[in-house]
Amino acid sequence: MSKKTVTFGEIMLRLAPDGYYRFVQAGSYGATYGGGEANVAVSLANYGLDSSFVTKLPAHEIGQAGINSLRQFGVDTKDIVRGGKRVGIYFLEKGASQRPSKVIYDRAGSSIAEAVKEDFDWDAIFEGADWFHFTGITPALGDNIAKICLEACKKAKEKGITVSCDLNYRNKLWSKEKAGEVMGELCKYVDVCIANEEDAGDVFGIKAPDTDVTTGKVNHEGYKDVAKRLADRFGFQKVAITLRESLSANDNNWAGMLYTEGEYYFSKKYMMHIVDRVGGGDSFGAGLIYASLVGMNAQEIIEFAVAASCLKHSIEGDFNQVSVDEVKKLAGGDASGRVQR
Amino acid sequence: MSKKTVTFGEIMLRLAPDGYYRFVQAGSYGATYGGGEANVAVSLANYGLDSSFVTKLPAHEIGQAGINSLRQFGVDTKDIVRGGKRVGIYFLEKGASQRPSKVIYDRAGSSIAEAVKEDFDWDAIFEGADWFHFTGITPALGDNIAKICLEACKKAKEKGITVSCDLNYRNKLWSKEKAGEVMGELCKYVDVCIANEEDAGDVFGIKAPDTDVTTGKVNHEGYKDVAKRLADRFGFQKVAITLRESLSANDNNWAGMLYTEGEYYFSKKYMMHIVDRVGGGDSFGAGLIYASLVGMNAQEIIEFAVAASCLKHSIEGDFNQVSVDEVKKLAGGDASGRVQR
Amino acid sequence: MSKKTVTFGEIMLRLAPDGYYRFVQAGSYGATYGGGEANVAVSLANYGLDSSFVTKLPAHEIGQAGINSLRQFGVDTKDIVRGGKRVGIYFLEKGASQRPSKVIYDRAGSSIAEAVKEDFDWDAIFEGADWFHFTGITPALGDNIAKICLEACKKAKEKGITVSCDLNYRNKLWSKEKAGEVMGELCKYVDVCIANEEDAGDVFGIKAPDTDVTTGKVNHEGYKDVAKRLADRFGFQKVAITLRESLSANDNNWAGMLYTEGEYYFSKKYMMHIVDRVGGGDSFGAGLIYASLVGMNAQEIIEFAVAASCLKHSIEGDFNQVSVDEVKKLAGGDASGRVQR
Amino acid sequence: MSKKTVTFGEIMLRLAPDGYYRFVQAGSYGATYGGGEANVAVSLANYGLDSSFVTKLPAHEIGQAGINSLRQFGVDTKDIVRGGKRVGIYFLEKGASQRPSKVIYDRAGSSIAEAVKEDFDWDAIFEGADWFHFTGITPALGDNIAKICLEACKKAKEKGITVSCDLNYRNKLWSKEKAGEVMGELCKYVDVCIANEEDAGDVFGIKAPDTDVTTGKVNHEGYKDVAKRLADRFGFQKVAITLRESLSANDNNWAGMLYTEGEYYFSKKYMMHIVDRVGGGDSFGAGLIYASLVGMNAQEIIEFAVAASCLKHSIEGDFNQVSVDEVKKLAGGDASGRVQR
Amino acid sequence: MSKKTVTFGEIMLRLAPDGYYRFVQAGSYGATYGGGEANVAVSLANYGLDSSFVTKLPAHEIGQAGINSLRQFGVDTKDIVRGGKRVGIYFLEKGASQRPSKVIYDRAGSSIAEAVKEDFDWDAIFEGADWFHFTGITPALGDNIAKICLEACKKAKEKGITVSCDLNYRNKLWSKEKAGEVMGELCKYVDVCIANEEDAGDVFGIKAPDTDVTTGKVNHEGYKDVAKRLADRFGFQKVAITLRESLSANDNNWAGMLYTEGEYYFSKKYMMHIVDRVGGGDSFGAGLIYASLVGMNAQEIIEFAVAASCLKHSIEGDFNQVSVDEVKKLAGGDASGRVQR
Amino acid sequence: MSKKTVTFGEIMLRLAPDGYYRFVQAGSYGATYGGGEANVAVSLANYGLDSSFVTKLPAHEIGQAGINSLRQFGVDTKDIVRGGKRVGIYFLEKGASQRPSKVIYDRAGSSIAEAVKEDFDWDAIFEGADWFHFTGITPALGDNIAKICLEACKKAKEKGITVSCDLNYRNKLWSKEKAGEVMGELCKYVDVCIANEEDAGDVFGIKAPDTDVTTGKVNHEGYKDVAKRLADRFGFQKVAITLRESLSANDNNWAGMLYTEGEYYFSKKYMMHIVDRVGGGDSFGAGLIYASLVGMNAQEIIEFAVAASCLKHSIEGDFNQVSVDEVKKLAGGDASGRVQR
């Protein structure tokens, strides 16, 4: 029987100029939907799981289009609450070469940010669920939503549902201090912690020595220490960290590390030409969840998660549009990109 | 010497699916800028006046693009204040045949809605100005902005600047009662009042008898009474009313009436195939202002204003992209649409 | 509790040049999905019913995209069988003025056309269903699929499910003789018969006198006779006929008639500017089914069905993207197309 | 055996904003090719004739793309001379409702305008030809090209090739006086004269009384007089005149008249919704040539020419993309625009 | 005098999402035409040869557009037979980075696949021809078409026309066994054999040792052996093999080898950033044919063929849009990509 | 107080196919404006200077759109003269990999090329100006315009305005001899000379030994000699040279050198993935002017100029759309292209 996952968070309208046009050149915006948690939900549905996404969206058509964007990929949207005033928006300008990508958030006052406790009946939502996932963005949206997150975590724990959290620190949403405090409380209920090369430092002050993320140098040894300290502090079963080396806006190296039961597992490293960088971390998290749920071993898990997210970087939009077979083929070693006829 | 106008209000990012696609079908949005007051400012610049637009916009690129959209048509943007958090947005779905156009506003919390008194130095702004224009939308954005409007009106009056106001009632922004109260105060300073076939009734309870705007029937006699009562109550020098008969989302009849010095002047009526309906009223106001400023007589003014706004309905986007010559040619009687080689 | 409908038939990839470009000018094709039965299923989901669509589609991505196109609007696709070789395609060139629209079918060999009896478990499919709908296109795809249709009809009848059929004659798929024979057998199980102004004549030789569909003249009296003869021959509870007057490729008049329990009910007539004509009849059928299922009376049913399909003509693509509220507003008399803010 | 036609003139790069965007709004231009004579050549090829087009185009890719645009529709381009400096350009802004279409020519200095006598070997070009066509635009490009035209006319005459000329007066290219003088000389060699409702007046001062082309009123009787006087002055075998009534940029009435052997033949009149107006007259000329070459009678000729050009108004671009069958179907009376499946 | 070539095979409608969008994201498909043999025909016409393409296409507009796509580049299409039911289609999703391109064929039942012997009069077709080219795809379409190929080969041989064949193995069309058998028979009549790095192994079991095409390593020595064994078995005058190293979907190394008269000639190797990979092999074949026909020596031939096909990888669509001059400039050593003003 | 710059030259309509399409594949052209001098003016306005652009443009809408393109970025256009016949055009085909970009100029007869002395009142134009910039393209347009350039240079000199000139040799416009002669005269008035790796050789015969620009090898030592010789001959205060290594149409290395007061300053070298190469040199010049005007030291100037122009290569269109902050961030060492949230 298919595993059921529940993901909780925001889905935003993403407005991005075509190709490499800058904001001031844009006469139109590609309109898709995405967000750290929605991206995970779509990936899980694409892998064939019974993936439910929980959020709040306004009752108008811009909200409806967000639901449709999830439904088309088979995400279960029946627990999405309708109401509130607006859909959060983010504007994305794609970078190239030495010019970085740029994100402008316009998410204040969104329906989910202003949701209330009564909007969500977690007993009903978690019925039959095997896994609960959220990210550090959700509690950052406001105190109310942070409390709702906490309630969900506790309820999941009670029901024996595995809980994963991607730290996903966003400095536009809250301070490091506030993040550390709130996330510290939530992490007590988390089994699987996911982070990128900066999150642990930003949120919990746990940094990898000798790493400068802007020069493309990553000190792998340092991340072993980060993972261990995270696991030790919160009792995580698994800590997974993405290791991105940014050579330019077009070229990144990409790898990951999984720490579990005292052991460190490093994936292969991929040299990527980037089509769309946004959602890369989310696709890693989704790969990790899927691989864990279907019972892969630790090395397989990290290889699956990294291969899945490597492929994401070749795909337009926030959502990772790949199948289990495609991920396995890459994880299995065929990175030649030869035409499949 | 060129006349100088000052227009005060909001400029929003307008997001509209191509052609006749509905919101739920949109994979991209055409991104232009517009708004009741900005539209007037652009028209006036297109007619060759020294047109200044005053608003507040965030310091980021989405705000900058709004400024650029005004600058390209020669609007003076040097008095636009930069700051605040977001650009107001409106989503527009173009109707066809029996299906109406649909507008979803997402303008709460915009920089201009949250502007403060100190943002605007009206003495400096009005230097050399001949005309000040605002609409009923601006004070509807919040109590603070209503007070700023009032301050501007008073200052304009002091300086002998003509003040015009388009009533422009928006029921999503405020109640009829609130509108009546606030606009009633502002109208004391207004010389030229512009309204559509519904505004006077919505804002001041002054209605034209025997008119049902949804059946395309307009009782011209009734509007004479409306105009007279408006002028009598507030002492307007001029009252101008647009008379739209909606046959379908594609076909409207369009005319206007000007009441001044006790006389009524009706324009020709145009049967329009609509390309883009939004901004129709604003282009009427701008035509009226231009024609008044350059000293046309009453019949010429209403013909110019109606011909200008008739042409607007054939143009994509909020802004009316026509020249004085083009308006005069139509007002002069050539409505054949023959190719100009 | 929401009513459940089951619709059975084909969903095709629709490839249409933008705007009014002819096939020989097309450098790209808009790619959507549609088909007489899928269109009905989407409408019913848009009205909030529990709408299931049953077909067979290849396991590859072109098939998957067809499923996604249905899922995004909330159609239940879990009974869609995956397999076979190809997705049926139709090419659509939109007409204008005196130039007619043109459809080129490339549907031979599609997965559904080559489906076999074993592909469908009607007992499971019909679980909880209230209504079963198919059209004359489905049995026309081949003898095998005609037999599957018959089996479905019988099974539906056994279970007390209401059965509706849109005659939908396509002369490229089968001869009038063959159609008459096969449809004659299927119609024995049909409760609600839907037809356009030509179908009854093409399939059963039952024609309205004094009607020439190419000159825009429709003899309403004649259609009363057609409906009565259809009902008498097959014992239909309801016969609904669309009455299209084609003035040009852009302008059609549109109305409908419902015959039930010996009475004739005519709808209002709408003068339409056409955005997209394809799927007009299907949206009529879906309106009829919805209105019947929720218990409207006969006059309300025909008004709802005609208003729904009138709106469809203003919408791009095969699918009718309208809500119950929008249909009711038009059926209630507001056809002015005024902007909804 | 297929008839061979030779058409001589200019082919320009046509740059037109999408849809109804004005020049100042255009971020891109649709790039097609067209011109009064090239349009005729393409129509004739589309009707299955052996249609050769003669011009001069630069050796670079912008010139080559012009040739390709002709070749794709089967026009014989082997007599096109390569050389010179530039491709003539025209910018086209499509009008709507009361706003007229606008054409800006940028054709000075084009390769054909600066062609020399030695570029064309008329003996070779006319080998096997049955018909030679040019328009009043070609000699207007310069004195040199006018002389080349004259040489071609004389040579055609010598060889017994039928010569047709569309007067096509363009006031941006030459004065009425100059046009009258040059065209007067050329018309001595012309057998079939084609004109629109203004040309005869502009070029030869032969006007239809009581006609105002900007009000949509056309005095048919007056055109009988115009045609007779043209035929009498130059000895034309046939004079064909298009009769356009411009109601708006979107709506025109369209008909034609043929005068031959002392008799007047009027076509049906079509009420057209316009997709693209440019090339309308050229498609009339091409229809006339085709119908004449295949031996239709006078009434059939004018009906074919008018139906062909009526259809052109529904097609994007300069070229008329219709088949003989499509024209005959419309000329035969089916103007309903019903879908052809 | 220009050399004449005849190419025989299929031309398909190619439907490809824009940029790097995946099939499930596509809202429109770029619509061009292509196919292994048509691509060669277009290249040869672009090089100025008298290039004829022979196939069968349906009489409708989708077939006509295929013909037009060839005609625009000057391919002679007069021997294309019109009839049959459908145009073969292939869907192309462009890969990026580690994500491979994907091709879905929908070509069964195409007009050419169901063509019959009587459709082609090879005596007429070969009149004046110097070269005949086909590929392994054509006989793979069906037994009938394989027989037609054989007939054409025999007839060409009789007439002293050089015959070239690109092995072009497609495993979706036939088994290796069947391919080996049929191609073995056809190769008896072939003078010039073209293959990629896998074909010889797939079709004839002749493999290069120590080569793994998915890791980007190519053993050049091994291919010398392959070429020699091919030549020895079938008596080919020339064997040309492309040597592709797939580093990623974006980056390939590209080179070629020619074996003739006992000698091996290797080209320069190019490191390519890929714009469009499809048709790369075909452009190599066309370069080889052109270079051979105009009498280059062996080293020049392989350099021309490889440079031509290197350029193809920078061009969108199946067709190679380059001139002889452009190829020679690259073959001559300027690979800097500096702007040509 | 903001510094004021005056730039004099041409602004052209730039017509470029989307993406990597070749001219013969283009069905539409992206329409932007650009030109060596206009590009500098826009950059300077983007950096916040009071940047005025002086040229002549026709009074029609294609000319107006050029002005609008400048105004939107805040360039002062009030000294642009309206008149003359045409806007210069250039067609741009973007290269990829081994295929070079291609530019076709169609600028003869443009309004600016045919401008006369009386069109420009340099006393008024230079009022309050700090810097005057022109390039070698402007005098190349014709003898008249060369004289106007000379007059402007003399006037600027008189007024103590710094004069900069980008040599910008274009072999399609004039011969090396003519260029050397005219530029030699103008350079007497120039303070700051800007050149690319070829200009000094083309215009003045001053070449860097051991450099082959088509192989991507640049001999830095040689350029020191070039700069010194230029400065010695003309008495330039500063000589700045861009050093481009063309590896392919997609990949260039980019650096610059500044020679001033007897010292040589080399910038960092950037490895660029190119989005749009046109305007690269102009953005270097603008960076140099800005950095000089705000008082940076020599090393800072060359780093700013090179970083600014490095970023330009990542931006579509001629204009460099970057802020001072963005340039400083790159010049300061962060070239990682990491997302800016």
pLDDT for the residue numbered E188: 97
Please give the structure tokens belonging to residue D94.
Answer: 């499509």
| Mean pLDDT of the residues in chain C | 95
Contact indicator for B54, B125 with CB cutoff of 8 Å = yes
Minimum CA–CA partner of F68 in chain B: B72
Q: Which residues of E touch F (CB under 8 A)?
A: 19, 73, 270-275, 307, 310-311, 313-317, 321-322, 326, 330, 333-341
Chains that touch D (3 or more CB pairs under 8 A): B, C, E, F
Give, for all 341 residues of chain D, the pLDDT tens digit.
Answer: 589 999 999 999 999 999 999 999 999 999 999 999 999 999 999 999 999 999 999 999 999 999 999 999 999 999 999 999 999 999 999 999 999 999 999 999 999 999 999 999 999 999 999 999 999 999 999 999 999 999 999 999 999 999 999 999 999 999 999 999 999 999 999 999 999 988 999 999 998 876 666 665 677 788 999 999 999 999 999 999 999 999 999 999 999 999 999 999 999 999 999 999 999 999 999 999 999 999 999 999 999 999 999 999 999 999 999 999 999 999 999 888 888 88
- Chain B residues in contact with A68 by the CB 8 A cut-off are 24
Per residue in A205-233, pLDDT tens? Answer: 998 877 666 665 677 788 999 999 999 99
The DSSP annotation for B14-65 comes to EEE-STT--GGG-SEEEEEEE-HHHHHHHHHHHTT-EEEEE-EE-SSHHHHH
Contact indicator for B274, B317 with CB cutoff of 8 Å = no
Q: Does the beta-carbon distance from B104 to A64 stay under 8 Å?
A: no
Size of interface A-E (CB pairs under 8 A): 88
Distances (CA, A) of C228 to B281, C224, C235: 52, 6, 10
Boundaries of every domain in chain E:
4-331
pLDDT for the residue numbered A217: 66
Per residue in E11-52, pLDDT tens? Answer: 999 999 999 999 999 999 999 999 999 999 999 999 999 999
E325 catalytic? Reply is no
| Mean pLDDT of the residues in chain F | 95
Q: Which residue in the list E282, E318, E325, E334 is annotated as catalytic?
A: E282
Radius of gyration over every alpha carbon of chain C, rounded to an integer in angstroms: 19
pLDDT more than 70, % of chain C: 97
Chains that touch E (3 or more CB pairs under 8 A): A, C, D, F
Q: Are strands F162-166 and B4-8 parallel, antiparallel or unpaired?
A: unpaired
Kindly state the average pLDDT of the residues A26-41: 97
- Chain B residues in contact with C270 by the CB 8 A cut-off are 98
Per residue in F100-124, pLDDT tens? Answer: 999 999 999 999 999 999 999 999 9
Kindly state the average pLDDT of the residues A60-68: 98
Q: Does the beta-carbon distance from B65 to A102 stay under 8 Å?
A: no
- Chain B residues in contact with C273 by the CB 8 A cut-off are 96-97, 248, 250-251
Residues in CB range of D182: below 8 A, 6 or more apart: D139, D140, D146, D174
Q: Which of E96, E214, E251 sits opposite A275 (nearest CB)?
A: E96
Alpha-helix runs per DSSP H in E173-261 = 176-186, 199-204, 220-234
Distances (CA, A) of F32 to A261, D92, F13, F90: 59, 17, 6, 10
pLDDT for the residue numbered C328: 97
Q: Which residues of D touch C (CB under 8 A)?
A: 19, 73, 270-275, 307, 310-311, 313-317, 321-322, 326, 330, 334-341
pLDDT more than 70, % of chain A: 97
Size of interface D-F (CB pairs under 8 A): 73
Minimum CA–CA partner of B105 in chain A: A86
Distances (CA, A) of A27 to B31, C109, D106, E25: 5, 43, 27, 22
Q: Is the dihedral of CA E275, E277, E278, E284 positive or negative?
A: positive
Kindly state the average pLDDT of the residues F146-151: 98
Alpha carbon of B169: minimum distance to chain A alpha carbons (Å):
21
**What is the rounded CA–CA span in Å between residue F195 and residue F256?**
10
Q: Which of D29, D64, D85 sits opposite F15 (nearest CB)?
A: D29
Q: Which residue in the list A76, A79, A276, A282 is annotated as catalytic?
A: A282
What are phi and psi for residue C14, nearest 5 degrees? -105, 125
The whole-angstrom distance between residue B234's C-alpha and the CA centroid of its chain comes to 20
Per residue in F48-91, pLDDT tens? Answer: 999 999 999 999 999 999 999 999 999 999 999 999 999 999 99
Minimum CA–CA partner of F173 in chain E: E341
- Chain C residues in contact with D310 by the CB 8 A cut-off are 97-98
Dihedral of the CA atoms B298, B302, B303, B304 (nearest 10)? 100
pLDDT for the residue numbered E215: 60
DSSP state of A189: G
Chains that touch A (3 or more CB pairs under 8 A): B, C, E, F
**What is the rounded CA–CA span in Å between residue F184 and residue D152?**
51
Contact indicator for C14, E53 with CB cutoff of 8 Å = no
pLDDT for the residue numbered B230: 96
Size of interface A-F (CB pairs under 8 A): 88
| Mean pLDDT of the residues in chain E | 95
Q: Which of E335, E340, E341 sits opposite F98 (nearest CB)?
A: E335
Nearest to A317 by CA among A289, A287, A276, A267: A276
Q: Does the beta-carbon distance from D316 to C170 stay under 8 Å?
A: no
List active site positions of D.
282
For helices F298-312 and F280-293, the axis angle rounded to 10 degrees is 150
Q: Which residue in the list B130, B282, B325, B334 is annotated as catalytic?
A: B282
Kindly state the average pLDDT of the residues A160-182: 95
CATH class for the domain made up of C4-331: alpha beta
Q: Does the beta-carbon distance from D246 to B337 stay under 8 Å?
A: yes
Please give the structure tokens belonging to residue A334.
Answer: 């065929």
**What is the rounded CA–CA span in Å between residue E311 and residue F98?**
6
Helix (H) / strand (E) element for F285: namely helix F280-293
Q: Is B9 helix (H, G, I), strand (E, B) or coil?
A: coil
Kindly state the average pLDDT of the residues B160-185: 96
**What is the rounded CA–CA span in Å between residue F242 and residue F256?**
4
pTM: 0.96
Per residue in E318-334, pLDDT tens? Answer: 999 999 999 999 999 98
Taking every pair of Cα atoms in chain E, the longest distance, rounded to a whole number of angstroms, is 53
Q: Does the beta-carbon distance from B28 to A24 stay under 8 Å?
A: no
- Chain F residues in contact with D106 by the CB 8 A cut-off are 62, 86-87, 89
**What is the rounded CA–CA span in Å between residue C291 and residue A267?**
58
Kindly state the average pLDDT of the residues B33-37: 98
Contact indicator for B200, B166 with CB cutoff of 8 Å = no
Alpha carbon of C256: minimum distance to chain A alpha carbons (Å):
30
Q: Does the beta-carbon distance from E171 to A341 stay under 8 Å?
A: yes
Please give the structure tokens belonging to residue A222.
Answer: 């340092």
SS3 sequence of F141-186: CCHHHHHHHHHHHHHHHHCCCEEEEECCCCCCCCCHHHHHHHHHHH
Residues in CB range of E183: below 8 A, 6 or more apart: E136, E139, E165, E167, E203, E204
Contact indicator for C38, C55 with CB cutoff of 8 Å = yes
Q: Does the beta-carbon distance from D100 to B336 stay under 8 Å?
A: yes
Nearest to F313 by CA among F39, F47, F66, F69: F39
Q: Which of D270, D314, D335 sits opposite C20 (nearest CB)?
A: D314
Q: Buried b vs exposed e over C34-45: b needs ≥16 C-beta within 10 Å?
A: bbbbbbbbbbbb
**What is the rounded CA–CA span in Å between residue C23 and residue F43?**
44
Q: Does the beta-carbon distance from B61 to A86 stay under 8 Å?
A: no
**What is the rounded CA–CA span in Å between residue E92 and residue E79?**
28
Residue E2: band (very low, low, confident or very high) from pLDDT cuts 50, 70, 90: confident
pLDDT for the residue numbered E216: 58
Please say if the pLDDT value at position A334 is more than 90: no
Q: Does the beta-carbon distance from E337 to F248 stay under 8 Å?
A: yes
Residues in CB range of B38: below 8 A, 6 or more apart: B7, B9, B10, B11, B53, B55, B70, B318, B319
Q: Are strands B251-260 and B263-266 parallel, antiparallel or unpaired?
A: antiparallel
Q: Does the beta-carbon distance from C321 to B249 stay under 8 Å?
A: no
Q: Is the dihedral of CA B169, B175, B181, B186 positive or negative?
A: negative
Per residue in B73-117, pLDDT tens? Answer: 999 999 999 999 999 999 999 999 999 999 999 999 999 999 999
Residue C335: band (very low, low, confident or very high) from pLDDT cuts 50, 70, 90: confident
Q: Does the beta-carbon distance from B97 to C337 stay under 8 Å?
A: yes
Please say if the pLDDT value at position B216 is more than 90: no
pLDDT more than 90, % of chain C: 91
- Chain D residues in contact with C101 by the CB 8 A cut-off are 337, 339-340
Q: Does the beta-carbon distance from E313 to F100 stay under 8 Å?
A: no
Minimum CA–CA partner of C59 in chain E: E104
Per residue in C154-207, pLDDT tens? Answer: 999 999 999 999 999 999 999 999 999 999 999 999 999 999 988 999 999 998
**What is the rounded CA–CA span in Å between residue A250 and residue F275?**
11
Please give the structure tokens belonging to residue C203.
Answer: 């399939």
Q: Does the beta-carbon distance from D278 to B339 stay under 8 Å?
A: yes
